[in-house]
Structure 1
Amino acid sequence: MENYIFGQMPRKYQRKTEKGKWTAEQLRNAITEISNGCSIRSAGKEHGIPESTIRKKLKLSEEERYQPMCLGGVVTFTMRQEQELADHVIKLAKMFHGLNPIQLRKLAYQYAEANNVCHKFNKERKLAGKDWYYNFMERHPNITLRKPEATSVNRIKAFNQESVKLFFSNLELVYDKYKFTPDNIFNVDETGITVVQKPVKCLAPKGLKQLGYKTSAEREKNVTVICCCNAIGRYIAPMFIFPRKRMTDLLSKNGPSGALFSCSLSGWSNENLCMDWLQHFSQSVKPTVMSPVLVILDNHSSHISLSIYEFCKSTGIVLLTLPPHTSHRMQPLDLTFFGPLKSAYNQECDLFLRSHERITTYDLAEIFNKAFIKVGTMEKAISGFRSAGIYPFQPDKFTLEDFAPASQFQPVNDENTLTDITNKNLSSKPNDACVVSNTESQQPSTSNTSESAFQQTSKMQNLVTESLASIISEQASKSKSDRNSPSETTNRLKGKHVTAETLSPIPCTSSTSKYQRKNKQKSIILTATPNKDELEEAEKKKQARQKEVDRRNSDSEVESIDSVSMLCDDDECDDYPDVDENQCLVCGELPTKSESWYRCTVCSNWAHALCTGYDSPENYICDHCD
Structure 2
Amino acid sequence: MPRKGVKHKQWDPKQMKLAVEAVKNKEMGYLKPSKVFGIPKTTIEDYVKKGASVNPIGRKPVLPKELQDDLALYCLEMDRRYYGIRGRDIRRLAFQLASKNRLPNPFSRKTELAGRKWMRNFLKSHKNLSFRTPQGISKATVKGFTPDNVNAFYDLLESSFEKVNFDPARVYNVDETGLTSVQRKHSKVISFKGKKQVAALTSADRGSLVTVVTCMSAIGSFVPPPFVFPRKNMKAELLDGTPAESIAGCHPSGWIQTNLFTQWLQHFVKFTKPSKEELIVLLLDGHYSHTRNVDIIDIVRDTGIIIVCISPHTSHKLQPLDLAFMAPLKTYYAQEIKSWLKNNPGRTITSFNICRLMCPAYQKCATAEIAANGFRKPGIYPLNRNVFKESDFLIEQQRERTSRPIEQLRERMPPLSTVRLEETAHLHTYKAESHLPFFTAADIEPLSSYQQIVRPNTTRKSRQGTTCIITSTPYKEELQKSLVERNRRKSVKNKETT
Instruction: Give the TM interval when normalised to the shorter protein.
Output: 0.7 to 0.9
- Asked if the contact 1:239–1:277 (Cα under 8 Å) also holds between the matched residues in 2, the reply is yes
2:420 aligned to which of 415, 431, 435: 435
Q: 1:490 maps to what in 2?
A: none
Q: For 1:565-604, what per-residue CA distance to the aligned partner results, in whole angstroms no more than 9, with x for missing partners?
A: xxxxxxxxxxxxxxxxxxxxxxxxxxx4559xxxxxxxxx
> CA–CA distance in 1 between the matches of 2:338 and 2:432?
56
Structure 1 letter corresponding to 2:444: L
- Asked if the contact 2:20–2:48 (Cα under 8 Å) also holds between the matched residues in 1, the reply is no
1:523 paired with 2:467, answer yes
Q: CA deviation at 1:33?
A: 3.0
> CA–CA distance in 1 between the matches of 2:10 and 2:253?
69
Q: 1:589 maps to what in 2?
A: none
Which deviates the most, 179-188 or 122-131?
Answer: 122-131
Q: 1:540 maps to what in 2?
A: 484
Q: Which has the higher contact order (CA 8 A, sep 6+)?
A: 2
> CA–CA distance in 1 between the matches of 2:209 and 2:127?
40
Q: 1:160 maps to what in 2?
A: 146
Instruction: State how 1:43-192 maps to structure 2 within 5 Å.
Output: 47=44, 49=46, 54=51, 68-71=55-58, 73-192=59-178
Structure 1 letter corresponding to 2:258: E
Percent identity between matched residues is 29
1:295 paired with 2:282, answer yes
- Asked if the contact 1:437–1:499 (Cα under 8 Å) also holds between the matched residues in 2, the reply is no
Q: 1:343 maps to what in 2?
A: 331
TM-score (norm 2): 0.83
> CA–CA distance in 1 between the matches of 2:259 and 2:198?
44
Structure 2 letter corresponding to 1:436: L
Q: 2:296 maps to what in 1?
A: 308
> CA–CA distance in 2 between the matches of 1:86 and 1:364?
45
- Asked if the contact 2:163–2:279 (Cα under 8 Å) also holds between the matched residues in 1, the reply is no
Per residue, is there more helix in 1 or in 2? 2
Q: CA deviation at 1:37?
A: 11
Instruction: State how 1:595-610 maps to structure 2 within 5 Å.
Output: none
Structure 1 letter corresponding to 2:237: L
Structure 2 letter corresponding to 1:503: I
Q: CA deviation at 1:540?
A: 1.8
- Asked if the contact 2:24–2:48 (Cα under 8 Å) also holds between the matched residues in 1, the reply is no
Q: 1:363 maps to what in 2?
A: 353
- Asked if the contact 2:67–2:438 (Cα under 8 Å) also holds between the matched residues in 1, the reply is no
> CA–CA distance in 2 between the matches of 1:74 and 1:263?
68
Structure 2 letter corresponding to 1:340: P
- Asked if the contact 1:95–1:404 (Cα under 8 Å) also holds between the matched residues in 2, the reply is no
Instruction: State how 1:460-499 maps to structure 2 within 5 Å.
Output: 462=431, 497-499=438-440
Unaligned runs of 5+ in 1: 1-13, 58-65, 416-429, 440-444, 454-460, 466-492, 550-563, 565-591, 596-626
Q: Secondary structure at the match of 2:177?
A: strand
- Asked if the contact 1:95–1:405 (Cα under 8 Å) also holds between the matched residues in 2, the reply is yes
- Asked if the contact 1:22–1:49 (Cα under 8 Å) also holds between the matched residues in 2, the reply is no
Q: Cα distance 1:149–1:17, how it changes in 2: closer, same or farther (>3 A)?
A: closer
Structure 2 letter corresponding to 1:502: D
Which deviates the most, 236-245 or 29-38?
Answer: 29-38
Q: For 1:278-325, what per-residue CA distance to the aligned partner results, in whole angstroms no more than 9, with x for missing partners?
A: 111111111112211011000112212222212211111111111222
Q: Cα distance 1:160–1:260, how it changes in 2: closer, same or farther (>3 A)?
A: same
Q: 1:412 maps to what in 2?
A: 401
> CA–CA distance in 1 between the matches of 2:258 and 2:182?
28
Q: 2:222 maps to what in 1?
A: 235
Q: Secondary structure at the match of 1:193?
A: strand
Q: 2:442 maps to what in 1?
A: 501
Structure 2 letter corresponding to 1:215: T
Q: For 1:73-123, what per-residue CA distance to the aligned partner results, in whole angstroms no more than 9, with x for missing partners?
A: 233333322222222222322332222221112222223344444444334
Bigger Rg over Cα:
1
> CA–CA distance in 1 between the matches of 2:83 and 2:318?
22
Q: Cα distance 1:31–1:534, how it changes in 2: closer, same or farther (>3 A)?
A: same
Q: CA deviation at 1:362?
A: 1.1
Q: CA deviation at 1:242?
A: 1.1
- Asked if the contact 2:421–2:432 (Cα under 8 Å) also holds between the matched residues in 1, the reply is no
Q: CA deviation at 1:350?
A: 1.8
TM-score (norm 1): 0.67
Q: CA deviation at 1:385?
A: 0.4
Q: 2:455 maps to what in 1?
A: 512
Q: Cα distance 1:158–1:208, how it changes in 2: closer, same or farther (>3 A)?
A: same
RMSD across aligned positions (CA): 3.6
Q: For 1:402-453, what per-residue CA distance to the aligned partner results, in whole angstroms no more than 9, with x for missing partners?
A: 1233346x423899xxxxxxxxxxxxxx9899531499xxxxx9xxx97x36
Q: Cα distance 1:414–1:464, how it changes in 2: closer, same or farther (>3 A)?
A: farther
Structure 2 letter corresponding to 1:54: G
Q: CA deviation at 1:36?
A: 5.0
Structure 1 letter corresponding to 2:51: I
Structure 2 letter corresponding to 1:435: R
- Asked if the contact 2:281–2:305 (Cα under 8 Å) also holds between the matched residues in 1, the reply is yes
Q: 1:26 maps to what in 2?
A: 16
Q: Secondary structure at the match of 1:70?
A: coil
